[in-house]
A and B are shown apart, each in its own frame.
Chain A
């Protein structure tokens, strides 16, 4: 066929007309809830590989799979697939009761055998579960009727909290053994509120409401979660009506749009903090304490984060079990100067060290450190900022070679002090930066403490000791901004997971 100019123009006109047919719908049927999510979902197995310990994608998993124990939006546990759980008197056994009448997405019955198998699989290091060392504190899992029992190999007072934390998911034994890991990856099933309809890697996942969900059928029958990793694009998605819900946008954008759309900004379990390493200048308690007293946290939150943040002085947020509001570190630049003077430092003779930070990994992370360095300069601290990628932070932290000060954000969606103060400040932990022997002894004594009240009181005492000696500088609890269309009401979850089954028609 000879391509004449006329024919070319005809084809162009036809293309334009056809393109117009494919234009995005402005008023999408609310039966198909579209969520613009801020991260990709790399893999469907919630118990193995890096995805399993990535807190930002747990919302996907919790939409399809149930955890052993359910976690309410306020972080407290609630009966889920397990309706009862506990130890025997001498803490040598755990007993769990399984919810009857639950079915998997393929219609097959959920049984106690599934729970026992999931626990045993999680404890098996060959499966690649990064947290198998927690699960392997239990052994000899047995299912009998609606009951599951296991022997306690090493007592861990938080074992049931892990059942609603990372990798604490129940998977279908018979189905998984039938289809294998690749088959499960291609067509995952769970007992959760939504079933996977279609999954396009790096693009979207389509979910359909589970009509037999034991917790009641979700409000929205069809949900499409698009992976929109760029914050500006996410804002455009929800502003243009292409998506009904989105999260994690700049606070300025949230403020701009929260009148036009529904907005909810609630504190989540992530905190911003400055690790102090026991090297160089940080070996001097006066310097550490001066660093802590010279930071005006509230002003930083107000000016840089538009007020969206909660000032904290320990590694516990108000929602955590061991939060103690009586522990505080006041903003007192005068005291900071006095402390530095006692060690021979001052504005004319500043103490010098390096502080490391990410840039853009968390909202205004670099800007916060810039502000802190500015405040420090006023009292006689000269800190040089080094920007690094979060991957480098993990590597340096695991090798205990971080700079004397390093900004980081710590997540702890179960709210237990062992997974905040415990792991962050216990020297032998690969995530700890401060290695003082006194702290190792104090925290070490609490790991296996069976008396819960005594354990929590012990952590409060440890937090007070840490604050008094400035062994770490907690800064703030983050607030997660969520925008939704007027027809959608979102219930935020304090873990930071955006869960479609908690969304209702407004």
Chain B
């Protein structure tokens, strides 16, 4: 019952948040300097030409009028038309969303694997030089931002040892037999491992660049949780039963220690999606982030609105899922 109440409350607050984001974004991008008409004015345009172009893009109306026209369209699934691409905004952003989601999920998986391995190894080897080495590595991973990791990875594995692709999402010459834009998942479903390998080769470096700082955070927090849990009585009991240290850590301590990390991973996943903006640009990866930068540079107002709203939806939904998962996994909340 309490869970249901929480769910309903979160759904309502999510809707209010999204409306708030929509209003703020709409107003702010119209107030900040740089309007799209000024950017496309050719030399010699007269005031009449400017007025004609402004009306052509519907920017001659007041901001409240523009908002209600746009909001009315959104309620019917019409997010407007991109000024630069002259395509429906919804088609454009939904076409790019799978690429960004796949990249973020791959980065998350890599981060969990690296961070988890560091935490488990650090806990098992606590007090030794190995733990100290892991702490130093974690510190380095955290103090270097993801875009710099991207540049380092490009130079190392794109130029010095060209093991991976450094731009794009897939080799242009490949014929893609896909019906969705989830290339990675669909290639597995269709058993096209040649395409899958090509996609992974394109995604690996940007995903790794995104994953390294997050892996460090996961590693630090999980190791701390594990070390605290290792002092609990039931862990001592497991040891007295003669279980090995690895089994004690993975089977006894980990299930309880993982909860705070799970919450963190959920929150960090939203930041990870935000981080794709720069990384996608650096690796010329055709996701939402790359599209967002172009939209801002070109002052493509409908497209900026669409992308920000979609990012807001992702953030709120991920947070909602994390909260619900936490509630389900935490016995104290589940049985309350």
Apart from A24-B164, A50-B300, A398-B38, list 11 A-B contacts with CB within 8 A.
A18-B196, A19-B201, A50-B83, A53-B40, A206-B173, A389-B34, A391-B33, A394-B39, A396-B33, A422-B43, A431-B43
The answer to whether the Cβ of B44 comes within 8 Å of any Cβ in the partner chain is yes
The answer to whether the Cβ of A103 comes within 8 Å of any Cβ in the partner chain is no
Chain A residues proximal to chain B, CB less than 8 Å: 15, 18-24, 26, 32, 36, 40, 42-43, 45, 48-53, 125, 128, 130-134, 166, 181, 185, 198, 200-204, 206, 224, 226-230, 232-233, 236-237, 239-242, 388-389, 391-392, 394-398, 419, 422-424, 428-431
Of the listed residues B171, B172, B300, the one surrounded by the most CB atoms of chain A closer than 10 A to its CB is B172
Which B258-295 residues sit within 8 Å CB-CB of chain A? Answer: 281-284, 286, 290-291, 293-294
| Residues A228 and B167 in contact in the complex (CB < 8 Å), given A200-B172, A240-B159 | yes
In the bound assembly, the distance between CA atoms of A464 and B157 in angstroms comes to: 55
5 sample A-B contacts, Cβ–Cβ < 8 Å, listed by A number = A19-B197, A133-B46, A181-B86, A391-B39, A398-B41
- Complex partner residue of B194 from A22, A224, A228, A398, CB under 8 angstroms: A22
Taking a contact as CB atoms under 8 Å apart, the answer to whether A430 and B194 are in contact is no
Taking a contact as CB atoms under 8 Å apart, the answer to whether A42 and B200 are in contact is no
CB distance from B297 to the nearest CB of A (A): 8
Question: Residue of A at shortest CB range from B36?
Answer: A50
Taking a contact as CB atoms under 8 Å apart, the answer to whether B35 and A395 are in contact is yes
Of the listed residues A226, A230, A392, the one surrounded by the most CB atoms of chain B closer than 10 A to its CB is A230
- Complex partner residue of A430 from B45, B151, B166, CB under 8 angstroms: B45
Taking a contact as CB atoms under 8 Å apart, the answer to whether A242 and B166 are in contact is yes
In the bound assembly, the distance between CA atoms of A185 and B204 in angstroms comes to: 32
Taking a contact as CB atoms under 8 Å apart, the answer to whether B200 and A45 are in contact is no
Question: Residue of B at shortest CB range from A127?
Answer: B56
Taking a contact as CB atoms under 8 Å apart, the answer to whether B41 and A22 are in contact is no
| Residues A395 and B33 in contact in the complex (CB < 8 Å), given A19-B204, A43-B84 | yes
Chain B residues proximal to chain A, CB less than 8 Å: 33-36, 38-47, 49-50, 52-53, 56, 82-87, 92, 95-96, 151, 154-155, 158-159, 162-169, 171-173, 193-194, 196-201, 204, 281-284, 286, 290-291, 293-294, 297-300
- Complex partner residue of A240 from B166, B290, B297, CB under 8 angstroms: B166
CB distance from B153 to the nearest CB of A (A): 10
Taking a contact as CB atoms under 8 Å apart, the answer to whether A23 and B164 are in contact is yes
Q: In the complex, which residues of chain A have a beta carbon less than 8 angstroms from the beta carbon of B83?
A: 49-50
Taking a contact as CB atoms under 8 Å apart, the answer to whether B45 and A133 are in contact is yes
In the bound assembly, the distance between CA atoms of A431 and B85 in angstroms comes to: 25
Taking a contact as CB atoms under 8 Å apart, the answer to whether B43 and A204 are in contact is no
Q: In the complex, which residues of chain A have a beta carbon less than 8 angstroms from the beta carbon of B47?
A: 430
CB distance from B141 to the nearest CB of A (A): 21
Taking a contact as CB atoms under 8 Å apart, the answer to whether A45 and B86 are in contact is yes
Q: In the complex, which residues of chain B have a beta carbon less than 8 angstroms from the beta carbon of A395?
A: 33-35, 38
| Residues A134 and B44 in contact in the complex (CB < 8 Å), given A23-B163, A391-B34, A396-B33 | yes
- Complex partner residue of B38 from A23, A202, A394, CB under 8 angstroms: A394
Q: In the complex, which residues of chain B have a beta carbon less than 8 angstroms from the beta carbon of A202?
A: 96, 286, 290-291, 294
In the bound assembly, the distance between CA atoms of A459 and B253 in angstroms comes to: 83
In the bound assembly, the distance between CA atoms of A75 and B119 in angstroms comes to: 63
CB distance from A262 to the nearest CB of B (A): 18
| Residues A203 and B159 in contact in the complex (CB < 8 Å), given A224-B172, A232-B151, A398-B50 | no
Q: In the complex, which residues of chain B have a beta carbon less than 8 angstroms from the beta carbon of A204?
A: 168, 172
Question: Residue of A at shortest CB range from B87?
Answer: A185
Question: Residue of B at shortest CB range from A396?
Answer: B33
In the bound assembly, the distance between CA atoms of A391 and B299 in angstroms comes to: 8
- Complex partner residue of A32 from B42, B84, B173, CB under 8 angstroms: B173
Q: In the complex, which residues of chain B have a beta carbon less than 8 angstroms from the beta carbon of A237?
A: 166-167
Taking a contact as CB atoms under 8 Å apart, the answer to whether B173 and A224 are in contact is yes
- Complex partner residue of A18 from B168, B193, B291, CB under 8 angstroms: B193
Question: Residue of A at shortest CB range from B195?
Answer: A22
Q: In the complex, which residues of chain B have a beta carbon less than 8 angstroms from the beta carbon of A26?
A: 162
CB distance from B82 to the nearest CB of A (A): 8
Q: In the complex, which residues of chain A have a beta carbon less than 8 angstroms from the beta carbon of B196?
A: 18
Question: Residue of B at shortest CB range from A21?
Answer: B197
In the bound assembly, the distance between CA atoms of A51 and B40 in angstroms comes to: 8
In the bound assembly, the distance between CA atoms of A388 and B38 in angstroms comes to: 15
Taking a contact as CB atoms under 8 Å apart, the answer to whether B40 and A201 are in contact is no
Taking a contact as CB atoms under 8 Å apart, the answer to whether A227 and B284 are in contact is yes
Taking a contact as CB atoms under 8 Å apart, the answer to whether B86 and A233 are in contact is no
| Residues A391 and B38 in contact in the complex (CB < 8 Å), given A200-B172, A203-B286 | yes
Q: In the complex, which residues of chain B have a beta carbon less than 8 angstroms from the beta carbon of A42?
A: 82, 84-85, 294, 298
In the bound assembly, the distance between CA atoms of A204 and B168 in angstroms comes to: 8
